[in-house]
Chains A and B, each alone.
Chain A
Amino acid sequence: GAGVSQSPSNKVTEKGKDVELRCDPISGHTALYWYRQSLGQGLEFLIYFQGNSAPDKSGLPSDRFSAERTGGSVSTLTIQRTQQEDSAVYLCASSLAPPGTASNQPQHFGDGTRLSIL
């Protein structure tokens, strides 16, 4: 079946521009996660959506970062006024985690968007 789909796979933009990154989770997965990974570094948690609950935004590094999840499915991560330090791979993952229930389901990752800020 279809996995987590992210687009674009690569994005090059100039400093100061806004960018939008898209994530299509696995069908039926209620939990969706965004991470950032700089070269040679670990995963940096950004934001987490679960069903219709308020998202956990505790990992967003600044107010230039925001994310939405429309209709409980597709998510968009927006970075405004990009800076060179925003250059990284942005990974999206989804998980089958029914709201309000205990769940031991793993995450499944997309291939990521490689963002380069010139």
Chain B
Amino acid sequence: QKEVEQNSGPLSVPEGAIASLNCTYSDRGSQSFFWYRQYSGKSPELIMSIYSNGDKEDGRFTAQLNKASQYVSLLIRDSQPSDSATYLCAVKDNYGQNFVFGPGTRLSVLP
């Protein structure tokens, strides 16, 4: 059974701080990793994808992947109240074509 785990939160950070969201996965064959943001009452939207070990930066967002430790994280720099949402980690092996989602971490950025 492939599993993806995340802290459910809520994770509260003050405005301007760095928010760190973590995700672990059980399937060593996983090759593709995605972070989705879901605002309350809305559908998930893709914010980052990462496929290779190391860091990938996009604006205020940095995804970090460590396949040996089966760990992927998302850092949000200079957090804003508009970043308050649930962040979903999704993992995929390239040939299975199906995605496994974590339960999501609820982030609250306090003004």
Q: Which of A45, A91, A103, A110 contacts B94 (CB 8 A)?
A: A103
Q: Which of A43, A56, A102, A104 contacts B98 (CB 8 A)?
A: A56
Question: Cα distance A95–B76 when bound, in Å?
Answer: 26
By the criterion CB–CB under 8 Å, are A109 and B45 in contact? yes
| Chain A minimum-CB-distance residue to B86 | A42
By the criterion CB–CB under 8 Å, are A112 and B95 in contact? no
By the criterion CB–CB under 8 Å, are A104 and B92 in contact? yes
By the criterion CB–CB under 8 Å, are A104 and B49 in contact? yes
Q: Which of A42, A48, A108, A111 contacts B88 (CB 8 A)?
A: A42
| Chain A minimum-CB-distance residue to B43 | A109
On A, residues with C-beta under 8 Å from B are 31, 33, 41-43, 45, 48, 50, 56, 91, 95, 97, 102-104, 106-112
Task: Report 25 cross-chain contacts, Cβ distance below 8 Å, ordered by A residue.
Answer: A31-B97, A33-B98, A42-B104, A43-B44, A43-B88, A43-B101, A45-B100, A45-B101, A50-B97, A56-B98, A91-B43, A95-B97, A102-B31, A102-B94, A102-B95, A103-B97, A104-B31, A104-B92, A106-B32, A106-B49, A106-B90, A107-B46, A107-B90, A109-B43, A111-B43
